[in-house]
A = this chain, B = another copy of it.
Amino acid sequence: MKAPQRAAGRTGRRPGYSGSREAILQAAGAQFAQQGYEGATIRGIAAGAGVDPALVHHYFGTKERLFVATMRLPINPAEVIPQIVAAGVDGAGARLATLFVHTMRELAGANPMIGLLRSATAHPDAARLLREFFTGAVLEKVAAALDVPQPRLRAALCASQLMGMLVAHEVVGLPPLVEAEHDTLIAALGPVLQHYMSDPLPGD
């Protein structure tokens, strides 16, 4: 039953390729997602990767930089946004809702976006990063792709609903949402996103 144990008290470099760096990144992603920036610990991440805590610093320097290295979105907005908007504004709400719900359910429990949100609530830098990412990589892209008035406001409204669904579903765990079928959530969200994207707003 003796599993090939990592870091078995042995010092010095291991023979062959160990994949420790990737193991650390993966463990860090899981811990940040589950416990947020403050809650996750270097020691815990190292244990999860089967590695000495000092090795984490060897690779990433500080916890802060490890966090930054870990952060990424589950989907690449640069390629997804055109896909959703391409066929025109009509039906874009339904397409976005479908993509979002499926991604959320598939990544349940290991959603990097949740890690970002968890961290953003306790770590101002993460909040700033999230804001800059959204305004830069999402809002602007959507604004460029969507031919409607006030595109940034509309994108932000969509983001508010999607973030909220994520928090209510993954963090708080509201039972009616967790137990609902994919199609129910999609049917509920679709018209909302469509409303934000194309219905008239004050200031149009």
Please encode chain A, from 165 to 179, with 1 for each CB lying within 8 Å of some chain B CB and 0 for all others.
111110111111100
Looking at chain A's contact residues, is the secondary structure mostly helix, strand, loop, or mixed? helix
Cross-chain contact of A202 among B127, B164, B177, B187 (Cβ < 8 A): B187
Please encode chain A, from 150 to 161, with 1 for each CB lying within 8 Å of some chain B CB and 0 for all others.
101101110111
A167 to chain B, nearest CB (A): 5
A171 touches B120 (CB 8 A): yes
A184 touches B121 (CB 8 A): no
* Chain B residues with CB under 8 A of A35: 122
Q: Taking the complex as formed, is A102 at the interface, i.e. its CB lies under 8 A from any CB of chain B?
A: no
B174 touches A201 (CB 8 A): no
B127 touches A174 (CB 8 A): no
Q: Taking the complex as formed, is A77 at the interface, i.e. its CB lies under 8 A from any CB of chain B?
A: no
A163 touches B157 (CB 8 A): no
Q: Given the known A-B contacts A38-B39, A118-B122, A121-B122, are A176 and B156 also in contact in the complex, defined by CB atoms under 8 Å?
A: yes
Please report the C-alpha to C-alpha distance between residue A173 and residue B39 in the assembled complex, in whole angstroms.
23
Q: Which of A120, A166, A174 has the most CB of B within 10 A?
A: A174
B122 touches A172 (CB 8 A): no
A143 to chain B, nearest CB (A): 10
Complex interface: stretch among A56-64, A68-76, A189-197: A189-197
A195 to chain B, nearest CB (A): 6
A71 to chain B, nearest CB (A): 14
